[in-house]
Structure 1
Amino acid sequence: MSNSIAAPLNFIGQSTAVQGQFSDVVSSLNWQTTAASIDSQTAEDVRRVLVKKNLQIDDFITLVSPAAQAFLPEMVAKSQQLTRQRFGFGMSLFAPLYLSNTCANECSYCGFSMSNPIKRLTLNESDVENEVRALKTKGFDHILLVTGETSKVSLSYFKKMLPIITPSFNYLSMEIQPLEVDEYSALRGLGLNAVLVYQETYNKTTYAKHHIKGKKSDFNYRLDAPDRIGQAQVHKIGLGVLLGLDDWRTDSVFLAHHLRHLQKQYWRSRFSISFPRIRPCEGGIEVGSEITDKQLVQLVCAWRLFDADVELSLSTRESAHFRDHVLPIGFTSMSAESKTQPGGYAEDAQSALKQFEISDERQVSDIAKLIQSHGLEVIWKDWDKAYNS
């Protein structure tokens, strides 16, 4: 990848009719059987997979298994090679822009949960203008809009705010409450390029335990949100699980099934995977199933070996030390100088407004220098709004 603009995509031929949601697929998968399959993998299985070119779900199971840990140096080397072959020497930078921390959900791991006694804030037009100016000053051309999940920040709110935001940025992603197909289509018409929606965990029992109240407690409605995004012909669909809620290996295998389902049906969309680990937050929980730094590296490499085309994102949830060392191994984009509270860029907002604590708090200029120190090129722009259909 270089600073040249990516080629436009033609969505003619992409499925717009429902051909079966992922909730239909996941009903045929078994959590315990998948976990047992992961644990049964051997060193010989790993060696066999490492020499293959086209990997299937069974191969991904092998790469995330405990048996693959001994092969981490080989996985890192192959992951880095595949990343350079497919994406070149570029690393895209983006920043989240939090529009609201108001939320009608009760989630055990999130600082925005409705019962947490924090100050609530939803940005108005003037606030958004100030945030946009602050982010443009830092050089960003790709931003991720984030909100809590509530009717206060529904389609009508975005119809007011996106015309303020989109003139200043060429690529706009959103991480918001799941919507209907026609609502995603309306946002696409306003300049939306990508939607990120994380299932958090694919274990329905664990999901119910951590999503106590609100619309997010509807497991299947959230599970099928990426299908609705694809049906709306959104350019990119972002997936992920919250690492720490349940067994990261089993959750990741279910996520691989989800990706393959979406790729078959919405094959003209791009796809990305994020790796959020539970971070401290107001009223937050203890980690239920820890994933170590070494295991996270294994997971990132497993994804790159499994799918050379999928985009992988590195979050400021991770420590500066960790990000310094892992950014070349398979990632294609990373956030920088993130603020996880509304109004965080234009002024010093209160810590209590944050969704979670950031670990890497360095300025974007420092992150740019870090990328260059690895022999990579900082990509500020890899899309032009003229390509938006």
Structure 2
Amino acid sequence: MNFLDEFNSYDRGELAQRIMSCRAADVERALTAEHLRSADFMALLSPAAHGYLESMAQKAHRLTQQRFGKTIQLFAPLYISNECSNGCLYCGFNAANKVARRTLSLDEVEAEARILRQRGFRHVQILTGEAPRAVDNDMLAAVVRRIRPLFSAISIEVYPMEEAGYRQMVDAGVDNLTVYQETYDRDLYDKLHPFGRKKDFDWRLTTPDRGGAAGLRSIGIGALLGLSDWRVEGVLVGLHARHLARTWWRSRVNVSFPRMRPAGGGFNPLAPVSDSALVQLICALRLLIPDAGLVLSTRESSSLRDHLLPLGITQLSAGSCTAPGGYGDEGHGSEQFAIDDDRDAEQVCAMLRAQGYEPVWKDWDRTFMDRQAV
């Protein structure tokens, strides 16, 4: 079972009308509900909920501390290639952009990985563009096997695969999958992806389900905020996450909130998302799925990230670089987008401790599963 049939039952226009028609009483009912219905979730994302942000934030904070305590998991992205055959108009890796392309060798990947390990990271996320001749499944599996001894958990944020491909990744040592739908607006998606394999909306939408079927330990999703109406996008992200949590209950669900940042090609946000809207979205997602991991990247400023922590965030990237080879050779290779929070890992840890949080470098080890198998 995948999310496609459920998604096709929704009409964006009707969703928008339902969201905009919510009233204060709907928001108040949602805030007292133990388990949110779809209608409750829409109320929390409606304009009527703006006056209840403090109440939403307080409840989101309580739920997060009940489920996760005052801990924040740290991870770092590791870009191994910026070669890409897709034409995503909003992305710095767009195949039409005239940028320096680079794919790291296995030795170069290991060198980058060792830098991250020396900085304390034990969770790493591997990222690529979509260029099968540069990085295919076998190459990616070889990368994972090479750096597996350095990390307790490895995530991938790469091109969509068949279920068999994800099983190959699990066998190589991948724990977690992240794949953004970018936008849940089918017509807009078609315009933003003029060419390349990523143009297939349905194939991408069903990718998290294939990852769940393959047995990945966690599945992460999100929409690129700034492409379409954030309220409707937020509803569909939440409904997608709820489907994954119910269907692939052995896998943890993570939700990310990537807001558009400057990138090569000069694409500008079509529907800018304000800080207050981001707060509302994070709180509403926490209330919908109390056990989900909520992820905030270095796309956001240091000040905003510091203030968003109590609202339900459980995972942060730190000391990030979005160019392949960028940790060991700054300035070599083009980045996917410009980060905003440029603090190193030690500075982020100091901030977390100052706010009473415990930075978590490692919360999982594959040996846990090996012991269970014995």
- The residue aligned with 1:237 is 219
Counterpart mapping for 1:121-136 below 5 A: 121-136=102-117
Of 138, 161, 164, the residue aligned with 2:119 is 138
Q: Distance in 2 between matches of 1:126 and 1:376?
A: 36
**1:319-349 deviations in whole A, cap 9, x for unaligned?**
1111121112210010001000000111213
Kept after mapping to 2: 8 A contact 1:172/1:192:
yes
Instruction: Measure how far apart 1:26 and its partner are.
Output: 1.2
Separation in structure 2 between the aligned mates of residue 125 and residue 85 of structure 1, nearest angstrom? 42
Shift in Å, 1:263:
2.1
Matched, 1:38 2:19: yes
Give the letter aligned to residue 325 of structure 1. H
Q: Which runs of 5+ in 1 are unaligned?
A: 1-18
Give the one of 226, 251, 256 matched to 2:208: 226
CA offsets, 1:165-222, max 9 Å, x none?
A: 1110001100000000011001101110000001011110110111111000000000
1:276 equivalent in structure 2: 258
User: Can you give the 5+ residue segments of structure 2 that lack an aligned partner in the other structure?
Assistant: none
Contact 2:242 2:289 in 1 (8 A): no
Displacement, 1:22?
1.5
Matched, 1:252 2:215: no
Deviation, 1:385, is 1.6
Q: Secondary structure at the match of 1:153?
A: coil
Aligned residues of 1:342 and 1:349 also touching (Cα < 8 A)? no
Question: CA–CA distance in 2 between the matches of 1:70 and 1:143?
Answer: 38
- Which residue number corresponds to residue 211 of structure 1? 193
**Is 2:309 the counterpart of 1:312?**
no
The answer as to whether partners of 1:110 and 1:284 remain within 8 angstroms in 2 is no
1:358 aligns with: 339
Aligned residue in 2 for 1:335: 317
1:288 aligns with 2:270: yes
Distance 2:369 2:301 in 1: 35
Alignment counterpart, residue 81 of structure 1, candidates 62, 68, 80: 62
Counterpart CA distance in 2 for 1:260 and 1:314 is: 19
Matching residue of 2:358: 377
What is the deviation of 1:118? Answer: 0.5
Do 2:123 and 2:152's aligned partners in 1 also have CA atoms closer than 8 Å? yes
Conservation of the 8 A alpha-carbon contact between 2:60 and 2:283: yes
Which position in structure 2 is the counterpart of 1:9?
Answer: none
Corresponding residue number in structure 2 for 1:201 = 183
Task: Tell me the TM-score normalized by structure 1.
Answer: 0.93
Matched, 1:120 2:89: no
Corresponding residue of 2:49: 68
2:112–2:325 CA contact under 8 A, matched in 1: yes
Aligned to 2:40: 59
SS of corresponding position for 1:100: coil
Aligned 8 A contact 1:191 1:388 in 2: no
Structure 2 residue matching 1:328: 3-state secondary structure: helix
Give the AA of the match of 2:116: L
What's 1:326 paired with? 308
* 1:388, distance to aligned residue in structure 2 (A): 4.2
Q: What's the secondary structure of 1:61's corresponding residue?
A: helix
- The separation in 2 between residues aligned to 1:174 and 1:362, in whole angstroms, is 23
What is the TM-score normalised by the length of structure 2? Answer: 0.97
- Provide the C-alpha distance between the structure 2 equivalents of 1:307 and 1:166, rounded to a whole number of angstroms: 31
User: Given residue 248 of structure 2, which amino acid in structure 1 is its aligned partner?
Assistant: Y
**Equivalents in 2 of 1:159, 1:85: separation in Å?**
37
2:304 maps to a residue whose letter is F
The number of residue pairs the alignment matches comes to: 369
Report if aligned partners of 2:241, 2:255 keep a CA contact under 8 Å in 1.
no
Q: Secondary structure, in 3 states, of the residue corresponding to 1:327?
A: helix
| CA distance in 2: counterparts of 1:261 and 1:73, whole angstroms | 28
Letter in 1 for 2:347: D
How many Å separate the matches in 1 of 2:202 and 2:115? 38
**Mapped partners of 2:58, 2:346: distance in 1:** 28
Give the structure, 1 or 2, with the largest relative contact order (CA under 8 Å, sep 6 or more). 1
Matched, 1:159 2:141: yes
Check whether the contact 2:73–2:360 (CA below 8 A) recurs between aligned residues.
yes
Separation in 1, partners of 2:331, 2:368: 36
Distance between the aligned counterparts of 1:328 and 1:369, measured in 2?
A: 16
